[in-house]
């Protein structure tokens, strides 16, 4: 019986070291070497401080900033530790009521302005959603709306290889670029 237990223990220890230590360390090293930005969370830094991630949305509420889509995380918006969708289907009365309250007086608004993303953390909005906010942002910053529209056009990300995904705008990066053009009034 000892002849069977010894190889089992040795193989268990060997594979534990191999798959639990060596492989994860190798993949971490390759990730850091080949894709350092992505491996470290696609952090956005300003003046040596991390101010966000290109992959996780943030809540903006001041009129001089573009606003993100609603977040499904709770109790705080865009809490990465609470990532989840709202799980409300298109016929759910709660979703219908929330959208009707957000839309208000029957305005035609882009869907992503009033609905959450699947993860509740999406940092992007559609160019249509951003365009609908141009007048508010321009007025709050004292800018010509055409200047804000031009900035929006420069910050719009297009589908990968022209076919994968949809056009989108990263709200944090757009707001940072906007701060470079015209710092917000305090």
| 148-164 per-position pLDDT tens digit | 999 999 999 999 888 99
User: Where along the chain do its domains lie?
Assistant: 2-38, 42-181
**Most confidently modeled of 66-70, 143-147, 161-165?**
143-147
- Residue matched to tokens 């800018």: 143
- Where does the chain show beta strands of DSSP type E? 43-46, 49-53, 124-125, 156-157, 168-170
Q: What is the pLDDT of residue 30?
A: 95
* 115 contacts 103 by C-beta, under 8 angstroms: no
Q: How close are the terminal C-alpha atoms of the chain, in Å?
A: 78
Kindly indicate the confidence band of residue 102, based on its pLDDT and cuts at 50, 70 and 90.
Answer: confident
Q: What is the pLDDT of residue 97?
A: 80
Q: Is the pLDDT of residue 186 over 70?
A: no
Kindly indicate the confidence band of residue 50, based on its pLDDT and cuts at 50, 70 and 90.
Answer: confident
Buried b (16+ CB within 10 A) or exposed e, 62-80: eebbbbbbbbbbeeebbee
Kindly indicate the confidence band of residue 118, based on its pLDDT and cuts at 50, 70 and 90.
Answer: confident
Kindly indicate the confidence band of residue 137, based on its pLDDT and cuts at 50, 70 and 90.
Answer: very high
Q: What is the pLDDT of residue 131?
A: 95
Beta bridge pairs of residue 50: 45
């Amino acid at each position: 019986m000892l002849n069977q237990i010894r190889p089992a223990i040795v193989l268990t220890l060997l594979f534990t070291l191999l798959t639990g230590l060596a492989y994860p360390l190798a993949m971490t090293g390759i990730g850091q070497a080949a894709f350092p930005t992505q491996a470290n969370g696609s952090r956005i830094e300003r003046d040596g401080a991390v101010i966000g991630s290109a992959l996780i949305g943030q809540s903006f509420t001041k009129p001089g900033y573009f606003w993100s889509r609603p977040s499904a995380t709770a109790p705080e918006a865009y809490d990465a530790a609470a990532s989840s969708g709202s799980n409300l289907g298109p016929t759910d009365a709660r979703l219908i009521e929330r959208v009707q309250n957000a839309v208000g007086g029957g305005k035609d608004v882009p869907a992503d302005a009033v609905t959450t993303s699947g993860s509740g953390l999406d940092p992007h909005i559609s160019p249509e959603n951003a365009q609908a906010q141009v007048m508010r942002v321009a007025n709050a910053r004292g800018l010509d709306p055409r200047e804000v529209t031009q900035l929006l056009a420069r910050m719009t990300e297009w589908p990968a290889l022209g076919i994968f995904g949809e056009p989108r705008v990263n709200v944090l990066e757009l707001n940072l670029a906007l701060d470079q053009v015209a710092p917000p009034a305090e």
